[in-house]
Structure 1
Amino acid sequence: MNSIELFAGAGGLGMGLHQAGFHPVRVVEWDRYCCDTLTENKRRGIKAMAGWNVTHGDVRAVDFSSYEGKLQLISGGPPCQPFSLGGKHRAHDDVRDMFPQAIRAVRQARPKAFIFENVKGLTRASFRNYYEYVRLQLEHPTIVARPDESWNEHLARLEGHHTSGSRTDLHYRVVTRVLNAANFGVPQRRERVVFVGLRDDLNVTWSFPTETHSLEGLLWDQTYGNYWDRHRVSRRGQLMSPRAIDRAKRIHIKPDSLPWRTVRDAIHDLPDLESLDGPPAGVLNHRFQPGARSYPGHTGSPLDEPAKTLKAGVHGVPGGENMLARPDGSVRYFSVRESARLQTFPDNFLFHGSWSETMRQLGNAVPVMLAQAVGESVAKHLTAAA
Structure 2
Amino acid sequence: MTGPRLAKIARITTGSRLRVLELCSGCGGMSLGLQSAGLEMLGHVEQDSTAAASYALNFRAPDGVSADVWRGARDMEKHGPDDLASELGIPSIADGFDVLAAGLPCQAFARIGRSKLRSLTGDDDAYRNDPRAKLYRRFLEYVAAVQPIAIVIENVPDILNFGGHNIPEEICETLDALGYSCSYTLLNAAFYGVPQMRERLFLVAYDKGLGLTPSFPAPSHAADLPSGYEAARTVALKFIPETGSHFSPIPVPADGLPGAVSVKAALSDLPFISEHWRKPIEMRRRKVADRLAYREFTGLSAYAKLMRGWKSYETGGDVDGHVVRLTPRDFPIFRRMAVGDDYPRALRIAEEMFTVRLAELTPRPTEESDDWKAVRKACVPPYDPGKFPNKWWKLDPTSPSRTLTAHLGKDSYSHIHWDSRQQRMISVREAARLQSFPDGFKFSGAMNAAFRQIGNAVPPLLAKAVGEHLRSEITGAATSRMKLDRARRRAA
Same fold by TM-score greater than 0.5:
yes
Answer whether contact 1:26 1:54 (CA < 8 A) is retained: no
AA matched with 2:194: V
Alignment partner of 1:62 is 2:88: no
Q: Which ranges of structure 2 fall in alignment gaps of 5 or more residues?
A: 1-17, 62-66, 86-91, 115-125, 226-253, 283-290, 294-317, 335-341, 345-389, 479-492
Aligned partner (choices 29, 54, 57) of residue 12 of structure 1: 29
1:359 to 1:94, Cα distance in 2 relative to 1, 3 A: closer
Residues 183-238 of structure 1 show CA distances to partners (whole Å, capped at 9, x for unaligned) of: 00100000110110011111124311111111269xxxxxxxxxxxxxxxxxxxxx
TM-score by length of 2: 0.57
Alignment partner of 1:305 is 2:399: yes
Residues 266-319 of structure 1 show CA distances to partners (whole Å, capped at 9, x for unaligned) of: 1111111127966625321123433355623222332221010001118x6242
1:295 matched to which residue of 2? 343
1:274 to 1:24, Cα distance in 2 relative to 1, 3 A: same
The DSSP-based 3-state class of the residue aligned with 1:357 is helix
1:207 to 1:346, Cα distance in 2 relative to 1, 3 A: same
AA matched with 1:380: S
AA matched with 2:268: H
1:383 to 1:122, Cα distance in 2 relative to 1, 3 A: same
Within a 5 Å distance, the mapping from 1:1-386 to structure 2 comes to 1-42=18-59, 53-60=70-77, 61-63=79-81, 66-80=92-106, 81=108, 94=131, 96-124=133-161, 126-140=163-177, 170-215=178-223, 255-274=255-274, 280-281=292-293, 282-291=318-327, 293=334, 295-296=343-344, 297=390, 298-313=392-407, 317-326=410-419, 332-386=424-478
Count of residue correspondences = 308
Answer whether contact 1:10 1:38 (CA < 8 A) is retained: yes
1:325 to 1:32, Cα distance in 2 relative to 1, 3 A: same
1:158 matched to which residue of 2? none
User: How far, CA to CA, are the matches of 2:398 and 2:411 in structure 1?
Assistant: 21
User: How far, CA to CA, are the matches of 1:114 and 1:131 in structure 2?
Assistant: 13
AA matched with 2:321: N
User: How far, CA to CA, are the matches of 2:152 and 2:173 in structure 1?
Assistant: 15
When structure 1 is superposed on structure 2, of 177-186 and 128-137 the one drifting more is 128-137
AA matched with 2:105: P
Higher helix fraction (1 or 2): 2
1:329 Cα offset (Å): 10
The DSSP-based 3-state class of the residue aligned with 2:200 is strand
Answer whether contact 1:182 1:213 (CA < 8 A) is retained: yes
Percent identical: 31
1:131 to 1:115, Cα distance in 2 relative to 1, 3 A: closer
Query: Which is greater in Rg?
Result: 2
1:165 matched to which residue of 2? none
AA matched with 1:259: G
AA matched with 1:256: G
The DSSP-based 3-state class of the residue aligned with 2:148 is coil
